[in-house]
Amino acid sequence: QVQLVESGGGLVQAGGSLGLSCAASGRTFSTSTIGWFRRAPGKERMFVGSINRIGDTTYYTDSVKGRFTISRDNAKNTVYLQMNSLKPEDTAVYYCAAEGQLAGHYTTWGQGTQVTVSS
């Protein structure tokens, strides 16, 4: 089991960059795939990207490919989401989540951090 806390959200102008962190506690962190999700105003929560246990494989939704980068430092129990070339449509609450026993099934979620991109 793990517990996750997101940080790093804030207000940024379009075209700017912002880095988010997902700090985890728990003995199983290094064995968990971590995903990033976001919920924009008036929309449902959507998948952003994920990183595997080791940190050598990542996946991204098409809308963020080439702009967002996920990385992890298991020694620090932290997963990162670096967001570049931000657009107003990236405005959302961003969440990190950890997989449970079933691959692709996320069972542990953080509280989220607000990212607002102004034009």
Do the beta carbons of residue 59 and residue 66 sit within 8 Å? no
More confident position, 92 or 30 = 92
According to DSSP, the β-strands at 68-73 and 78-83 are antiparallel
State whether residue 12 is helix, strand or coil.
strand
Inform me whether the pLDDT recorded for 1 exceeds 80.
no
In this prediction, residue 94 carries a pLDDT of 98
In this prediction, residue 25 carries a pLDDT of 84
HSE, side-chain direction, 13 A CA sphere, residue 2: 28
% of the chain residues with pLDDT over 70: 96
In this prediction, residue 103 carries a pLDDT of 84
Shortest CA distance to 118 belongs to which of 4, 13, 41?
Answer: 13
Inform me whether the pLDDT recorded for 101 exceeds 90.
no
More confident position, 64 or 30 = 64
